[in-house]
Chains A and B, each alone.
Chain A
Amino acid sequence: MIDQVVTFYTESWINDDRTAVRQLLAPDADIEWNLDAPVDEEELIQTLHRIAVFADSITVAARVDRADGAALMYDLAAPFGTARVIEFLAVERGQIIEVRQVYDVTLIDRYFPGLYDQ
């Protein structure tokens, strides 16, 4: 069940399905990232949307599942280079209750300019 939720979430945002991502996130989900900008559910969804639109390809480079969630590493290939992001997800009752993202901020700023509002 949890691995299906995680798979559905990753496939949804990679394919820019914002509706599906919104449905998978619990209403009071904890969301954190290391980008230099505040984040809430809407900002997360919009940022994932901008990555999905701008990137040439997005691949899951590594994934580890656990009974309560998953850890993932994505390669985000942009026209001038690839940046990586790590994501920790916690899942409960079929919904994602926690998203923690750790971006390579140096390469995100370089290869995905204007990704987020500073």
Chain B
Amino acid sequence: MTIPEVHLVAGGLRDSVRLAPVATALRAGSLLRPVTVACGRHPAAVRQTLSGFGMEPESAVPGPAGDLAERIRFLDDLWGVRMPAAVLVAGDTTTALAAAMAATWRHIRVVHVDAGRRSPHLDAIEADRHLLAQLSSTHLVTTAQAAMNLLDEHVPGADILITGSTAVDAALALAGRALPYASPAAARAAGAGRRLILLMIREPRTDRLAQIICATRRLVAAHPDVEVVASGHPAVRDPLAALDRVTVAEPLPYQDVARLLRDAYLVLTDPDGIEEVAPSFGVPALVVDGAVSSAIVREASRLLVSRLYRDSLTAGGNPYGDGRAAERAAQATAAMLGLADRPEPMPGPTRPLRSTVS
């Protein structure tokens, strides 16, 4: 009997991190054959992430993909000759929307991993999120809040499953393998013998850039036993490059992010960043985007001074994922196709274990 194919379409780091563990779980489940497809602006990031899981894209747009129409065209051509039973996408990227559109066009069912994220801003990105929800058949969410967002948009509750974050699965899998750092700078910083602060701001609010930079300077000055690894947006990391005990590491493959999380004492990040992953390593994540520098310094210093307070923030585990999200995603995909029972949702606490300063 031929095992049906499911195609997992990724365009960059963020979605490939979320889909790679699902591909691994699908392969282990043996009910479906996962096929990874790279179709976005950052094919090298997709390749690098998948390689950490012993995979490579089976199909890829040559070079960086263009706009939405070009990605739909590529995927439609692919699925015209190699029709999958289902398509999996992750997050809210142009690639995810293109794949969902191309799949729906060919009457292929779509599974949306990391679905239901919403912002209060009704911009084009938010509009695309709405459409992605309407195009998808199965919605796998990280949190109950994401599930409620979808219910508010008339998505049937029976089509929604709280799986937890597959990014947590990815980080745990990579960190568990204890691979050497790919980034020499990150390796040096992690080996410096000081408490490690991972500063990872991907999309900073421009009006708050100076606050984050100022707060980092003050933290380094006030705590001589800390070492900062700064990654993410150049507008944040580059002004810090000249500081003693600050290491700028970029680009960071996800295997290095996972290792840094394992080695870190504290994470400073922005919303939708790595704050959902850090608690799985017993590391609190302070969401600093939008905060004034004095508040960042105050809260981070509290965590640096009191080990008890710092550890208490993650003592209850990680509400964003228990390391089984990918298994649930794989089983939910098989269930959608009538090949398995629907999995149970992720049990667990609903208390958010991140600290937000404002």
Binding site for B on A (CB under 8 A): 34, 36, 62-64, 66, 71, 73, 81-84, 86, 88, 100, 102-107
Contacts and interface: CB of A to CB of B under 8 A. Distances in A.
B104 A81 contact: no
Given A86-B101, A88-B105, A106-B153, A62 B127 contact: no
Given A36-B154, A107-B122, A86 B131 contact: yes
Contacts of A88: 104-105
Contacts of B130: 84, 104-107
A82 B124 CA distance: 9
Interface residues of B, number: 20
Main secondary structure of the interface of A (DSSP, over half): strand
Given A102-B135, A106-B154, 5 more contacts: A71-B72, A73-B68, A104-B130, A105-B134, A106-B152
A15 B346 CA distance: 50
Given A104-B134, A105-B153, A63 B69 contact: yes
B76 A66 contact: yes
A73 B105 CA distance: 12
Interface string B119-134: 0001000011011001
A84 B105 contact: no
B76 A84 contact: no
Contacts of B101: 71, 73, 86
A106 B67 CA distance: 25
Given A62-B67, A71-B101, A102 B131 contact: yes
Contacts of B188: none
B134 A64 contact: no
Contacts of A64: 69, 72-73, 76
A73 B101 CA distance: 10
A42 B221 CA distance: 71
Given A64-B72, A71-B72, A103 B134 contact: yes
Contact of A104 (B67, B68, B127, B152): B127
11 contacts: A71-B72, A81-B122, A84-B130, A102-B104, A102-B131, A102-B134, A103-B134, A104-B127, A106-B152, A107-B122, A107-B127
Given A104-B130, A104-B131, A71 B67 contact: no
A28 B169 CA distance: 49
Contacts of B131: 84, 86, 102, 104
A75 to B, nearest CB: 9
| Most A Cβ at <10 Å: residue of B67, B68, B134, B153 | B134
Nearest to B135: A102
A108 to B, nearest CB: 9
Contacts of A63: 69
